[in-house]
Structure 1
Amino acid sequence: MSVAFGSCFVRSIAMLVVLLVLPTAALAEPEHVPPHAFDQGMLWRIERPGTAASHILGGAHVSTITAIEGLPQAAQQALAGARRAAFEQRADHPADGLVTHMWYLPWPVTRELLGPDRFDQVQSVLQMYEIGAEQVARMRPMMLFFLLTQSIDDYRALVEGRPTLDELILGDVRARQLPFTQLETLKEQTADEPAWPIAQQRALIDLALAQWPPDQGLADAEALWRGQQLGRSLQRDAKMAARSGHEKAYAAFVRRLLAQRNARMAAAMEPVLREGEAFIVVGGAHLLGQDGILARLRTAGWTVTRAD
């Protein structure tokens, strides 16, 4: 797999799925929030007395939307009225060196980490993605897991350079010369990935193999997003993990993928929200439930109202 492909994939999927074990910024833990709070809706109005309202869009990083006009009308209006912006991660940052670090181990030890039988099964599947054995032998186990959760058609679309929703909105922001910032860096996201317990990585790969081929491609995921039902996707995945005996590994994965990052991003966006009139874009899953960004902002004293 080439670094050029890695850059494309990072620009789209990896912004959402890179795991972290970093200390999170101090923001009060959400209290008295129902388990499925904020599971419906993609656009939210954030405000407090004396501060102009801002909006947060829970986006689908990879999307069939090819122009700003493809966004829901409420999101278009909120973006048009914004005077500043923030993104989960800058979509235009060059990161080839970090991509290589994210995807590959320094030497080919993946077979030893996974065990021969599991490795051979992974390699057999990824041959259908036209990923060679030498590349698989150096890939980090979590990157293999992420690949196995993508359908072959969606993988090919990503390789061909399908633009991300973040890129489209960033293009509009840059064209209007608005100030913008990012809530996380790729370096932050990848810094502690090697600390992920290998036993849990193996369990997640077993879960992905058991469910392969994926029964839900990007089009189906986007349908859930447009239908404002992203919470259903996480609930479905949790049930699948429980049925296959990998409930603990999946729970740890979600904790690292979402909860720990949510605390940091919520803290990082507060200065932007205090300036007001901001348009903020994050992956939709980061807004959901008791550990989501919206619950944390509400606990911090912001009024959070659905705007779509």
Structure 2
Amino acid sequence: MPSTPVAPAAVSFQQVSKVYRSAGAELRALDRVTFDIAPGEFFGLLGPNGAGKTTLISILAGLAQASSGRVSVLGSDVVTDYAQARRKLGVVPQELVFDPFFTVREALRFQSGYFGIRGNDGWIDELLAGLGLSDKAGANMRQLSGGMKRRMLVAQALVHRPPVIVLDEPTAGVDVELRQTLWQFIAGLNRQGSTVLLTTHYLEEAEALCGRIAMLKQGRVIALERTSTLLKRASAKVLRFKTDQALPAALAAQARVTGRIVQLPLPDVAALERTLADLRAAGLQPEDIEISQADLEDVFLDLMRDAPDPNTARPAPAQPLEELA
């Protein structure tokens, strides 16, 4: 019997490296990054600033070229079959980029035209309604608020109905209403079969939305797991409370502090008793004490802290290095 053909990955990164050289020094922004995203996945790409997330997305979108390795979108190589790869991909960038000379509807019609799509007003109307832009269809792009411009970037990325959607920090600096509107709309597209690749620093978003997550540290993948599997690493409880006072040095070294909110790990019951005793001994009066389950942010911080420094013992690059512009 003939074998059943295997469907290509929605996005495939195979041994992708990006190396720069400047003034005799080299910077390896990506180091042999390898993973696939299956069709229909909602996939998270996480990492601290400078980890290589935007560089990887720029290579995927054709805005940068890898020093080595291969990237494809639904089987189309982003270099050798770039036209088809671009057609299958919709990218929402971090930066607010817009044309100040057109209205919202005109801009979306022009964007449709870039992909050779005529008579696209039905889908444009659906995008405008889904993203809360219907009442702005005739407004000039310059008149939109920052949040409305962010919605417009999403509409432009989706106007040609790409099967793969890339969201690079889509909710950075936006209000709660936009976040809810955006995620409802994108989750609906994902349920209909669209593949979504998300980068975000809001780890609660990744935990809620992404079925699988890759974590980058200094250009290398240090974790690639289902979200549920990653969360099992955070099996310990955490003690959360509020305080305006300084923590004792021993507790401060292991605390995660956000404003007045302090979070301390609790590997066992004895740790809870010790922590409360240390707080009393230091004269602290914590408020709103609660014990809860650790979350993806705890896992992320643990992995980033425990992963070895990728800059040590790096192999020599296999291909000539590129020069920084």
- Relative to its length, the structure with more helix (as a share) is 1
Q: Does TM-score exceed 0.5, indicating one fold?
A: no
Shorter-chain-normalised TM-score: which range?
under 0.3
In terms of Rg, which structure is larger? 2
Normalised by the size of structure 1, how large is the TM-score?
A: 0.23
- Relative to its length, the structure with more strand (as a share) is 2
Normalised by the size of structure 2, how large is the TM-score?
A: 0.22
